[in-house]
Amino acid sequence: MDTRSSRLRHIVNSPELSFLMEAHDGLSARIVEEAGFEGIWASGLAIAASHGVRDCNEASWTQTLECVEFMADAAGIPILVDGDTGHGNFNNVRRFVAKLEQRGAAGVCLEDKLFPKINSFVNGTGQELAAVDEFAGRIKAAKDAPRDDQFVIVARTEALVAGRGLAEALVRAEAYWRAGADAILIHSARTDASEVLEFKRLWGSTLPVVAVPTTYHCTPTDTFRAHGFSVLIWANHLLRSCITAMQATAAQLFTEQCLTNVESTVAPLREVFRLQRMAELKAAELKYLPQPVRPSDGDGTRDAVPEAVSVQ
Amino acid sequence: MDTRSSRLRHIVNSPELSFLMEAHDGLSARIVEEAGFEGIWASGLAIAASHGVRDCNEASWTQTLECVEFMADAAGIPILVDGDTGHGNFNNVRRFVAKLEQRGAAGVCLEDKLFPKINSFVNGTGQELAAVDEFAGRIKAAKDAPRDDQFVIVARTEALVAGRGLAEALVRAEAYWRAGADAILIHSARTDASEVLEFKRLWGSTLPVVAVPTTYHCTPTDTFRAHGFSVLIWANHLLRSCITAMQATAAQLFTEQCLTNVESTVAPLREVFRLQRMAELKAAELKYLPQPVRPSDGDGTRDAVPEAVSVQ
Amino acid sequence: MDTRSSRLRHIVNSPELSFLMEAHDGLSARIVEEAGFEGIWASGLAIAASHGVRDCNEASWTQTLECVEFMADAAGIPILVDGDTGHGNFNNVRRFVAKLEQRGAAGVCLEDKLFPKINSFVNGTGQELAAVDEFAGRIKAAKDAPRDDQFVIVARTEALVAGRGLAEALVRAEAYWRAGADAILIHSARTDASEVLEFKRLWGSTLPVVAVPTTYHCTPTDTFRAHGFSVLIWANHLLRSCITAMQATAAQLFTEQCLTNVESTVAPLREVFRLQRMAELKAAELKYLPQPVRPSDGDGTRDAVPEAVSVQ
Amino acid sequence: MDTRSSRLRHIVNSPELSFLMEAHDGLSARIVEEAGFEGIWASGLAIAASHGVRDCNEASWTQTLECVEFMADAAGIPILVDGDTGHGNFNNVRRFVAKLEQRGAAGVCLEDKLFPKINSFVNGTGQELAAVDEFAGRIKAAKDAPRDDQFVIVARTEALVAGRGLAEALVRAEAYWRAGADAILIHSARTDASEVLEFKRLWGSTLPVVAVPTTYHCTPTDTFRAHGFSVLIWANHLLRSCITAMQATAAQLFTEQCLTNVESTVAPLREVFRLQRMAELKAAELKYLPQPVRPSDGDGTRDAVPEAVSVQ
């Protein structure tokens, strides 16, 4: 059966390099889908930031879950959820994973740190790794939790981020593979990709490997392709584009105290309505609402606001 | 006592024209505050759109409430909440308003339509007005609900949007004033401000008047100032700037399959962390966490990712 | 495929009289299942009352949804959800129904009143009926919303409760049948069943008929059986048994200021743990947690609290 | 100012022995208040069990928070919330505590275990204690989080439950006192109170001491009074009385297939409505709804269902 989980599994397992684009709410998820991407990365950092909280489990796991649900409802492509540590021990993990599947996610990525986590790009306290066998137990629990065995479990090791070196990263990847992981995400906070590439060389093809070039963004994509990576994640760039745009728009409106110049730089209102699928609602009204004779409604277009209401 | 409600009340009552800037999540709320605005408009349209749903009460009132809570936690300036119809009758209104106050909002704007509402810029079914006395009862209930009598109740009439004309708008404004409203929001979906300005001329100064120049964005702000308006709302422009930015970034990444060119066009990761107030967390760790001797932590800066971790 | 929806459909369609027992949270749902019932009635009144709010949509539809989710997670038998009016118009209905199905409900009952509803046993304002064709549109939308076409839509008419008489009840039932309803719930607030029985006689067997003998509790069950009813709902009796029990226990503890006498009248702590399925957790720990040598743990029984920890 | 926090503080600090009664939802909270108790214990075990989940943080902290909110809305007396471990580290604690205060709780009890916790009466894995200084940091953070400095922080040590002995319990109590705790809860899973009493003797009066005689329920209350305890908590007995009552009612209805005999053993429907405060709603309708001439409504009593609708 063609489910979103099976489609994400295909993305992960296929020999070509694929790309997942970050989204953090229903709107961004729909934009990612419309841009043509095969799948979505529901970024923990971006979801936290858009809520105005920090990426150290300040939002509860059910608040994150609800955000994922809005994303899965807004876009039809598979969503790989950044599941942080799984929000506790094996028992929290299996509950979290079962709920993610219920709400329409296609897979989850779990990292070998302890709850509460702290973002991998923030230095200092909190980058401690979980014991290998304890985290392997979480992966095993995650594998057993979904109803659909196509649901994808990605094991992310923070061994390099924590400064433990390649050998430990490999040992951990092997343990997570044996525990049932479908892919390994090798994370690095360095500005060059060398340790990530070296990991891939040493690891080989036991399981597909995912990379997140946030800090080593200068590395050409063909390098990852040549090394046989499975998936690259553009992990937070829609959120960051929003920040730039909102700061500019807010500054301009604060200074100019007038909409006139801003109007042409932002999406028109009708584009908001189109993204919200207002046309589907108008069609549904015809189907489900009693239809009075309303000659003045015409084609549903309000004359005075042509740009606002064209909802096709 | 200087509360957010009393500050919003001052904004509404003061003779100068003030501006409220739309926000739709914690991040945008913080950006509005940093831009210097006195207050935030928690737009129903923008909140719905960012969730990926439509502005006709597809999200439940508690989901909207939770969004407002994240906004109030992320920004210290007053928030005027777009409360739609109040989500039902007088009883739903008083519950909704009490909860908005509990979560940190400073005021609510209620419109004289029936639940479920449909956005005022969408034509067709749904733009029916409530009976005047029924809606006046909702305003009265809203006034009685908060603990702090400084909490602001704005009554929005959709009489012009519904094509009922100025006379009805004025009758309704009068009824809502008598029911206890603190201000009148006169809404219009026309591309010129004439009917809004005419309303103000006829209404005078019985209560402060709020306008939303989304469709009549070409009207100079001094025109509203000259007519004695109290507040202008820039109602959805941060959301619309996000759409433009995300569509461009997603398209570029889809085409280029590489981060290199995008990196310089989006906010740096350290700006995400700054907006999340990571510096406060690092300071709190020093206060509340056992402090091991960690010479290598230095100033909290990870050498390899200087841009990511400077959290001041 | 044997789903909960198909099992509820079978219950509704089978010639024998079946019984649904009210539950209002995960615990009561599990108790209903353990008692042997075929299915659960997720009562709107009982859910509201247990939350401490009124049965007039004071809790949001997502708060009700979350309660249903806990119930569906706690019990494996089908749940028919008391969906009130569907929480708005056809559009709210289809969203609500799709979410109920997602969370594990097997069916929903919608009543032909307007949002916000008021409980049918409370007199006065609020017992107004929806227009027939508008409500038929809600039923149609409800039928189209679930993925699984076995999901059951019960149309409840309040025509008798609203004093509109049998003729209108029959007209409405017919309209809802044509709109796609799977069964008719004929509600009555009278202390005898005569009007309900008369409805069934006149209605015949076009669709299965459900009755709720809360007020006409003296009518022998064989009477309903003889009239060919499909389902009886015991609609609020677990909640009401809790009230009696809690008031007695609270009064006794307040007076006696001591647990000694209460202890033997309430379920032992180990029964709480059994209902929570602690044994499953202990088994899962063996499967997913690293197993240290812990000789002192023995069989998982703490000697000093034998009654508390026997989790089989 | 007389707040619920200051009232709970008074209960804890006063020389007389006080009693807190468990509640787990809005309904039980209201019943506790009506029974005359000074305050409510929002039991983690009871809240989890009523949701149908286990007492090991299977419900998220925001789900627990929402339950507390319904309780605080339903009852006016102070609520001491069973906060488990605080749901993570110091940072999770301060967020959790600030939110509890926002929703109307008067205090929180935090225990010196690690997230996720497991109920103290369940043997085996999971009863590990937190490091003293790490937990003291959580207490310190909890003290700094609320706006109202009357909000009560109770530090609960599980030293005895974990088999660490009296000396460690005393060391921990001292550390938590120095960190700012307002009271110490000394927990024990034994069937006699000896170790709890001995703790009190050795501890003296540095801070008020709270005990939970769930397992040592045979100890006369005067013994605690004589030892100078501040508060006793009846920790789960309303929940347990519900289980007994619901199992009996469900069994009876399953067997008898008829309401007749059950009707007299459960609270009447009008008692449900009274507990929901329907009379307040009817009064509010007179205040806020347009009042048509409705001669037939009379006193709001529906003739046919006198027991159901008398809402005074």
Express each pLDDT in B194-249 by its tens digit. Answer: 999 999 999 999 999 999 999 999 999 999 999 999 999 999 999 999 999 999 99
User: Which positions in chain D touch B134 (Cβ < 8 Å)?
Assistant: 289-290
For residues B268 and B310, give the distance between their C-alpha atoms in angstroms, rounded to a whole number.
11
User: Which positions in chain C touch B52 (Cβ < 8 Å)?
Assistant: none
- Measured between CA atoms, the residue of chain D closest to residue C258 is D221
Kindly state the percentage of chain C with pLDDT values over 70.
92
- Residue D301 in domain: no
The strand pair at C79-82 and D183-186 is best described as unpaired
Per-residue pLDDT band for C129 (boundaries 50, 70, 90) equals very high
Q: Which domain holds residue C85?
A: 4-242
D68 and D103 in a single domain? The answer is yes
- Residue C38 in domain: yes
Per-residue pLDDT band for D124 (boundaries 50, 70, 90) equals low
The per-residue pLDDT for range C150-182, each reduced to its tens digit, is 999 999 999 999 999 999 999 999 999 999 999
Nearest to A309 among B37, B121, B297 (CB): B121
For residues B125 and A292, give the distance between their C-alpha atoms in angstroms, rounded to a whole number.
10
Q: Are the CB atoms for A151 and A101 separated by under 8 Å?
A: yes
The per-residue pLDDT for range C3-43, each reduced to its tens digit, is 999 999 999 999 999 999 999 999 999 999 999 999 999 99
- Residue D175 in domain: yes
| DSSP characters over D269-311 | HHHHHHHTTHHHHHHHHHHHS-----GGGTTS--TT-HHHH--
What is the mean predicted confidence (pLDDT) over B45-58?
97
pLDDT value at D228 more than 90:
yes
pLDDT value at B298 more than 80:
no
For residues A295 and A275, give the distance between their C-alpha atoms in angstroms, rounded to a whole number.
28
- Tell me the shortest Cα–Cα distance from C97 to chain A, in angstroms: 14
Report pLDDT for B126. 56
For residues A202 and A182, give the distance between their C-alpha atoms in angstroms, rounded to a whole number.
18
- Residue C254 in domain: no
Report pLDDT for A302. 42
ipTM value > 0.85: yes
A108 and A37 in a single domain? The answer is yes
Q: What is the pTM of this model?
A: 0.95
Whose CA is closest to D10, among D226, D208, D197? D208
Cβ neighbours of residue C99 closer than 8 Å, sequence gap 6 or more: C62, C65
Subunits adjacent to chain B (3 or more Cβ pairs under 8 Å) = A, C, D
The per-residue pLDDT for range A98-118, each reduced to its tens digit, is 999 999 999 999 999 999 988
Cβ neighbours of residue D290 closer than 8 Å, sequence gap 6 or more: B131, B133, B134, B137
Nearest to D88 among A89, A95, A115 (CB): A115
Task: List residues of A whose CB lies inside 8 A of any D CB.
Answer: 56-58, 60-63, 88-89, 91-92, 95, 115-116
Average of per-residue pLDDT values in chain B: 93
Q: Are the CB atoms for A239 and A55 separated by under 8 Å?
A: no
pLDDT value at D119 more than 90:
no
C277 and C196 in a single domain? The answer is no
pLDDT value at D196 more than 90:
yes
The per-residue pLDDT for range A172-206, each reduced to its tens digit, is 999 999 999 999 999 999 999 999 999 999 999 99
- Residue B48 in domain: yes
Phi, psi for B155 (deg, rounded to 5): -100, 125
B116 and B46 in a single domain? The answer is yes
For residues A311 and A270, give the distance between their C-alpha atoms in angstroms, rounded to a whole number.
7
D74 and D203 in a single domain? The answer is yes
C210 and C105 in a single domain? The answer is yes
Report pLDDT for D307. 41
Per-residue pLDDT band for A257 (boundaries 50, 70, 90) equals very high
Nearest to C74 among D52, D282, D289 (CB): D52
Q: How many domains, in total, are found in chain B?
A: 2
- Residue B118 in domain: yes
Report pLDDT for C127. 67
Average of per-residue pLDDT values in chain A: 93
* Residue spans of beta strands (DSSP E) within chain A: 18-23, 39-42, 79-82, 107-111, 152-157, 183-186, 209-211, 231-234
B220 and B277 in a single domain? The answer is no
Average of per-residue pLDDT values in chain D: 93
User: Which positions in chain B touch A36 (Cβ < 8 Å)?
Assistant: 254
* Per-residue DSSP letter, B113: B
Report pLDDT for D312. 33
Report pLDDT for A127. 67
For residues A182 and B110, give the distance between their C-alpha atoms in angstroms, rounded to a whole number.
51
A228 and A149 in a single domain? The answer is yes
Helices D44-51/C26-35 angle, 10° precision: 50
> Token digits for A280?
């589907």
What is the mean predicted confidence (pLDDT) over B264-291?
96
C275 and C237 in a single domain? The answer is no
Interface mutation target, options C68, C89, C125, chain B, most CBs of B under 10 Å: C89
* Residue spans of beta strands (DSSP E) within A13-168: 18-23, 39-42, 79-82, 107-111, 152-157
For residues A32 and A106, give the distance between their C-alpha atoms in angstroms, rounded to a whole number.
16
The per-residue pLDDT for range C80-122, each reduced to its tens digit, is 999 999 999 999 999 999 999 999 999 999 999 999 987 888 8
| DSSP characters over D42-101 | E-HHHHHHHHT--TTT-S-HHHHHHHHHHHHHH--S-EEEE-TT-SSSHHHHHHHHHHHH
CATH number, residue C39: 3.20.20.60
- Measured between CA atoms, the residue of chain A closest to residue C283 is A91
* Per-residue DSSP letter, B130: P
- Residue C45 in domain: yes
CA atoms within 13 A of residue A11's CA, in its CB half-sphere:
29
What CA dihedral angle connects D60, D65, D66 and D69, to 10 degrees?
Answer: 170
Per-residue pLDDT band for C299 (boundaries 50, 70, 90) equals very low
> Token digits for D203?
């501890």
User: Which positions in chain C touch D254 (Cβ < 8 Å)?
Assistant: 19, 21, 35-37
Cβ of A237 and B253 within 8 Å?
yes
Cβ of C254 and D45 within 8 Å?
no
Q: Are the CB atoms for B288 and D90 separated by under 8 Å?
A: yes
C92 and C181 in a single domain? The answer is yes
B222 and B272 in a single domain? The answer is no
User: Which positions in chain D touch A88 (Cβ < 8 Å)?
Assistant: 57, 115-116
Active site residue A55: yes
Per-residue pLDDT band for B128 (boundaries 50, 70, 90) equals confident
- Measured between CA atoms, the residue of chain C closest to residue D296 is C124
Q: Are the CB atoms for A22 and A239 separated by under 8 Å?
A: yes
Sign of dihedral through CA atoms D194, D195, D200, D202? Answer: positive
pLDDT value at B125 more than 60:
no
B277 and B237 in a single domain? The answer is no
Cβ of D137 and B102 within 8 Å?
no
The per-residue pLDDT for range A267-291, each reduced to its tens digit, is 999 999 999 999 999 999 999 999 8
What is the mean predicted confidence (pLDDT) over C273-290?
96
pLDDT value at A122 more than 90:
no
- Residue D196 in domain: yes
